[in-house]
Amino acid sequence: MENLKQNKVLVTGAAGFIGSALCEKLISSNISCIGIDNFSDSYSSQLKRDRLENIFANNNANLFSFQELDICNKDGILSLFEKEKPDYVVNLAAQAGVRRSIENPYPYIETNIMGFTSMLEACRHFPVKHCVYASSSSVYGANTKMPFNPEEPADHPLSIYAATKRANELIAHSYSSLFNIPSTGLRFFTVYGPWGRPDMALYLFADAIVNNRPIQLFNNGQHERDFTYVGDIVAGILKVLFAPSSTDEKWDSDNPDCDTSKAPWKIYNIGNSRPIKLLDYVEALEHHLDKKAIKEYLPLQPGDVPSTWADVSKLTKEHNYSPKTSIIEGVGKFVDWYKEYYKL
């Protein structure tokens, strides 16, 4: 096995929720890490800068460096690759959120498609050992067969955000096929935990409960989600990152699986594989906050799906992925962070 400490990993979206957690884990593992982020205004830039400050606070071996850079700046990205020559790339930079993408699709097309293409172009001109990128469980869209299996088609997205993530997978396949770039897409399933995004359910619910406001439970609270703790997600990313995708010699073009290829390209689900009812999620939050929520029940929103459930068997088999964090433990870690961050 190669000495990973001799490698350099480029993480885009390094001031984001998952990106910052990944950077922290890399430097704590003595692996050199370059982070970039553009501090977009999709939510509080202060939270992003605080995450970044937290990374630098733990950067005892000076393994982390950062540059403010937008992945849509193709010349800037090429210059960064030319200067730093990263060995591995994890692209987490994106416009996130299903509902905002319906109201204003243009930033999603620009960042999630054009920006991602600029990253692949850089990997083409300055070859890397592996490019891992964030996809999403939302690509399953209108699919109802559970658990969601990446071997099956995911071609009916129900939001613009989901469509851009599915497009990422297809564009990556083209680049892997044309330029032999090993690439892997990870379909994240409802990530939560400390330093989470303020537009996500757990953060919104905690803020509402603490401030005596009602929490909004869409689909009348009947949602089920494959909630996955951020630490388990990061552990999975690292297992995949340092095992570059290769061609699948058994791939049958007459009967093609949808998650492998003759190109060095793969797709995996990365989730907890244990769907949780939204009301049970709220109950765990109430327990740790020691306070009951005021609940407002609302109908299903456009672009939303009632349930998600990840089949992670292939990731487990090929990369020994094993999520370990229960909902009660993970929500507790979030509440501990939330209280400390807001000095409650």
Number of H helices, E strands in the chain: 12, 13
* 56 class by beta-carbon count within 10 Å (0-12 exposed, 13-18 middle, 19+ buried): middle
Contacts of residue 103, Cβ cutoff 8 Å, sequence gap at least 6? none
| DSSP assigned state of 255 | S
| Listed residue (126, 128, 91) closest to 112, CA to CA | 91
Phi, psi of 127, deg, nearest 5: -55, 140
DSSP strand pairing (224-225 vs 183-188): unpaired
Quick check: is 43 catalytic? no
Conformational region of residue 146, where left means phi above 0, alpha means psi within -120 to 50, and beta covers everything else: beta
DSSP 8-state class, residue 4: G
Complete DSSP assignment for 111-144: IIIIIHHHHHHHHHHS--SEEEEEEEGGGGTT--
Dihedral angle, C-alpha 129, 19, 59, 51, nearest 10 °? 170
Q: Which two tokens stand for residue 305?
A: 């799906």
Bridge-based pairing of strands 224-225 and 276-277 is antiparallel
Cβ atoms 133, 116 nearer than 8 A = yes
Q: Which listed residue (108, 133, 161, 338) is catalytic?
A: 161
Residues annotated catalytic, as ranges: 161
